[in-house]
A and B are shown apart, each in its own frame.
Chain A
Amino acid sequence: MIEAVNLTRKYGNLIAVDNVSFKIDKGEVFGFLGPNGAGKTTTIRMLACLLSSTHGTATVAGYDTQKDPIQVRKSVGILTENPSLYERLTAYENMDFYAQAYGITDFVERKKRIQELLELFNLWDRRNDKAGTFSKGMKQKLAIIRATVHKPPVLFLDEPTAGLDPESAKEIRDLMAKLSQHEKCTILLSTHHLEDAEKLCNRVMLMNKGCCLLIGKPDELREKTSTGQVIQIDLTQITNTILQTLKNSAYVKEVNTKPCETSLWISVEDIRMATPEIVKTIVEANGQILGVNMLRVSLEEAYLKLIKAEGAKTQ
């Protein structure tokens, strides 16, 4: 559905996007992850035909962004960095303008579509209120709905939860999940909120300083940065026998404890193979187990690790 090959954008000597290549399949929710200035917005602008590329090519919904920009724009719905709403126009008027701009000329069809979307996302009662009177979260919600008014096969969402309070951010995330199911479109989501990527994206591309560092599923991103896996085992009490037995086990790389706590943090190579064996070892050493947790590296930890590693490499 979307393909970029060596996409590059320069501003004088500054390389905002550097030879980025990726492919997004139909129906996929793909995330651009990266800190501010990573090149996420510039890449989206190139794909939406708002900026031309200095080098490289891209196709969106089968249309070349350089040769067929009008067709690309017709196929794309976009939420820009700002909601881009006309604050003196009502919610309905905003939707109506964009519906017509994207080619829905039939009045009845347009009204039906706008009503469907506003009702689906609980904004129908506020349709006659000016967008300027909406809260930040509601504006963002309206802007996302507006981007989908013409049923685009591709949706670009640039920082949809930026600057929102946790409650509004959750609401927007739920809205995006609902949209992805309801509209069945390919979504390209740019964010530096890892929760967005973790909860919504099938795959993510990690970007920094204009370059693509990694493309993969959020799980793969974790695995690539993980130096091993950890099992947390809660016991009634920790004895020297248990510690000694575990240290002698072939499945255990390292055992950690914390003062005044009766939990063990055991580093292993393969968590699936090691967990039953370790539980068996503890029981044989007369340990009484209260709980077993398999700890995974969070996406946030993986992300920070990669960005840090990249920073160290360039220095």
Chain B
Amino acid sequence: MNFHNAWLVFKKDWLEIKRNWQILTPIIIVPLIFSVALPLIIGLIGNMPDANVSNNQDFNVLIPNLPISVQNMLANMTPNMVAVYIMLVYLFAPILLIVPVMVSSVIGSDSFAGERERKTIEALLATPISDSELLLGKILVCFIPAMAVTFVAYSVYMIMVDVTTFSTFGMLLLPNVTWLIMMFGVTPVIALCGIGLTIMISSKVKGFKEAQQISIVLLMPIMGLIFAQIFGLIFLGPLMLIMLIGIFAAIDIAIYYVSIKIFQREEILAKQ
């Protein structure tokens, strides 16, 4: 495989994406809501002395799952502080996993289905770029922006949390080990999984919208993780996150090989 060819496909697609507001708007707006609006609202409300953010009973199922050191720390806090701490540090962490999947879904859906809709696919498939180079190029153009947007979203979120809560807690709540593993470990493997599946869908369906609608389903496992943690079924601590990294890495490798195997130039062309 010639990496230069894959990089070439990446550069060409990225140039197009940069000039396409239909794609850029959702990948800027949604992370902005998650990383700015959520911590701002929760953090500011938590600062109000008479605000009642949540009844601690809401978190009773979650608190026993937390590390002992965190439980001890929470024991010395007011109910409002406990609620704000749990929401900002634990509950919203998996919500940010939606960002890489959403970004890769928007860009990945456009990969082959978009080229087909704009009738540029035939000339591209006629070039000597091999199937694996083409696929890798399309993966890169989803992965690099998805990771960039997610890292920016994580960073903004952490800054917003620390800025809005420092006066109340007297310490920086983020980053912690869980968040670092989430950022640098879980996010890339989940993004790759979403990208692989979205590109596979994009190469099999007729249009961009069809691909995007189907790829929304990929958000379901993330939502599952969020609700499982809320209901105390799992706790996304370092050990669980490392296990998730292993599972998703294995799925990513499988998806890449299956994608190459089922990638059919003729089928892509026939869908025109």
Residues of A within 8 A of B (CB): 45, 48-52, 70, 73-74, 76, 78, 80-82, 84-89, 93, 97-98, 100-103, 105, 143, 146
Is A102's CB under 8 angstroms from B119's CB? Answer: no
Q: Tell whether A101 pairs with B15 under 8 Å between CB atoms, given A51-B269, A81-B122, A85-B120.
A: no
Enumerate chain B residues within 8 angstroms of A52, measured Cβ to Cβ: 266
B217 within 8 A of A: no
B45 within 8 A of A: no
A146-B120 Cα distance, complex, nearest whole Å:
13
Is A45's CB under 8 angstroms from B128's CB? Answer: no
Identity of the chain B residue whose Cβ is nearest the Cβ of A49 in the assembled complex: B126
Q: Tally of A-B residue pairs with Cβ under 8 A?
A: 67
Is A50's CB under 8 angstroms from B120's CB? Answer: no
Stretch among B4-12, B149-157, B177-185, B193-201 lining the A interface: B4-12
Is A48's CB under 8 angstroms from B126's CB? Answer: yes
Is B269's CB under 8 angstroms from A45's CB? Answer: yes
Enumerate chain A residues within 8 angstroms of B121, measured Cβ to Cβ: 84
Contact of A87 (CB < 8 Å), options: B118, B129, B265, B269:
B118
Identity of the chain A residue whose Cβ is nearest the Cβ of B133 in the assembled complex: A101
How many residues belonging to B are interface residues under a CB distance threshold of 8 Å? 25
A98-B11 Cα distance, complex, nearest whole Å:
12
- CB B44 to nearest CB in A, in angstroms, measures 41
Contact of A98 (CB < 8 Å), options: B16, B118, B127:
B127
Is A89's CB under 8 angstroms from B12's CB? Answer: yes
B55 within 8 A of A: no
A105-B7 Cα distance, complex, nearest whole Å:
12
Is A73's CB under 8 angstroms from B12's CB? Answer: no
Enumerate chain B residues within 8 angstroms of A85, measured Cβ to Cβ: 120
Q: Tell whether A88 pairs with B122 under 8 Å between CB atoms, given A102-B127, A103-B128.
A: no
Within 8 A of A (CB), among B1-23: 4-5, 8, 11-12, 15-16, 19-20
Is B12's CB under 8 angstroms from A50's CB? Answer: no
- CB A134 to nearest CB in B, in angstroms, measures 14
Enumerate chain A residues within 8 angstroms of B12, measured Cβ to Cβ: 86, 89, 93, 97
Is A82's CB under 8 angstroms from B122's CB? Answer: yes
- CB B10 to nearest CB in A, in angstroms, measures 11
Enumerate chain B residues within 8 angstroms of A89, measured Cβ to Cβ: 12, 15-16
Identity of the chain B residue whose Cβ is nearest the Cβ of A78 in the assembled complex: B126
A48-B124 Cα distance, complex, nearest whole Å:
12
A80-B118 Cα distance, complex, nearest whole Å:
13
Enumerate chain B residues within 8 angstroms of A76, measured Cβ to Cβ: 126
